[in-house]
Structure 1
Amino acid sequence: MSRRDELLQQATDYALEHGLIGLSLRPMAAALGTSDRMLLYHFGSKDALVIAVIDESTRRSSEVLRDLPPAQTVRAGVLRLWEVHTDGQLDRCQHLYEQASASGLLGDEPYRSAVRQSNEIWAVALVDYLTACGATRTGARRVVPLLDAALMGFHLDYGIEADSADLRRGVRDLADAVHRLTE
């Protein structure tokens, strides 16, 4: 693994823990045991580093999805997706994605472009997972925009109110709807 790759892994871990909003190179570099100049040497600019971190986080989250055993039904698959969305690696990646998305909505680059690319990669992984759970590829493609938007909205709510009955009911209703739409 090259020094750049090592720094990317460490920088991604740092961003997953501390977030992207207000990210400053000096504190990150100090935490990584390097200097801000070395980060700039390896990545060219702060924006290039942020794009690389978003890309690596997307790679990690897609890997979690690829490694997720398929469920017996699409409904069960959606419920399993929600479980992994709120636990561990995918939860942290989702928070980072949400911060990048919020900045992208404001038109800030490099977030806007990186989020668009992340969406494309994530959608392919979701289609593959739903297909493995029994959906047709056409049905999976049809529901991915709904599923992805709903899971992100639920995840935002989860950060505020982790265990509400309304949130749990909403996730179950989503699972039912996605299942019906992919039959």
Structure 2
Amino acid sequence: MPRPLDHARREDLLSGVINYIADHGLAELSLRPLADYLGTSSRMLIHYFGTKEHMLIAALETQRPNISAMFADIQDPETLRTRLTASYTLNTTGPARTSLRVLLQVLGAATVPNSPFHPYATDAIKVLITALTSALTRITPTHPDPEAAATLLISGIRGLIQDFWITGDTSRIDRAIHMLADQAVPQA
């Protein structure tokens, strides 16, 4: 008879998975070193999650913020621009830094044909684009293409965050994030 899942232990493992990937990367992830890091065995990880991919997706799901809430209270373009530029700082220095580093690795892995991460990555992008499109439509009902603007903003910010982690060029990236927000979010 299979051993019942210890849900508290499962949650602890998921948190550790995110920290491990942020420190060691996704590309060469192997269950045995991950299990050692987590103080368990690869057999127990399979017991809890089934596959490495299911474990990674479950770990990412624990980190997903309420995206709709991030934009729900925005009523004007200036507040949206401020929130978008602040998200850059929050995601490079704040508590979301670790989970976003992992998410960016998963998004990269999702570009490989038949990637097990493709459905998760597609959904993550869709949720962001939908929430931001809704905010743009609400604050600028005459916006010619809020979905394209949302796509530009989300993809641009994601690229700038990645650029920051690679180059560390805070001044250039800070100017670019403000330029992106100013150009993509119309004036009131």
Q: How does 1:1-183 map to 2 (within 5 A)?
A: 2=7, 3-57=9-63, 59=64, 62-63=65-66, 66=69, 73-126=79-132, 130=135, 135-136=139-140, 141-180=147-186, 183=188
| Pair 91,127 (structure 1): closer, same or farther in 2 beyond 3 Å | farther
Say whether the 8 Å CA contact 2:18–2:99 is kept in structure 1: no
Deviation at 1:126, TM superposition (A): 4.2
Q: How many angstroms apart in 1 are the aligned matches of 2:80 and 2:53?
A: 38
Alignment-mate amino acid for residue 49 of structure 1: M
Say whether the 8 Å CA contact 1:51–1:111 is kept in structure 2: yes
| Pair 157,65 (structure 1): closer, same or farther in 2 beyond 3 Å | farther
CA deviation string 1:95-137 (max 9, x = no partner): 2122112111122521222211222233345457x56xx8358
Unaligned runs of 5+ in 2: 1-5
SS at match of 2:110: helix
Unaligned runs of 5+ in 1: none
Deviation at 1:63, TM superposition (A): 4.4
Q: How many angstroms apart in 2 are the aligned matches of 1:147 and 1:85?
A: 15
Say whether the 8 Å CA contact 1:55–1:118 is kept in structure 2: no
Q: Scaled by the length of structure 1, what TM-score is found?
A: 0.78
Q: Scaled by the length of structure 2, what TM-score is found?
A: 0.76
Say whether the 8 Å CA contact 2:18–2:98 is kept in structure 1: no
| Pair 125,14 (structure 1): closer, same or farther in 2 beyond 3 Å | farther
CA RMSD of aligned residues (A): 3.0
Q: How many angstroms apart in 1 are the aligned matches of 2:95 and 2:131?
A: 16
CA deviation string 1:58-81 (max 9, x = no partner): x1xx24884799696222122212
| Pair 36,96 (structure 1): closer, same or farther in 2 beyond 3 Å | same
How many positions carry a matched residue from both structures? 176
| Identical positions, percent | 27
| Pair 124,89 (structure 1): closer, same or farther in 2 beyond 3 Å | farther
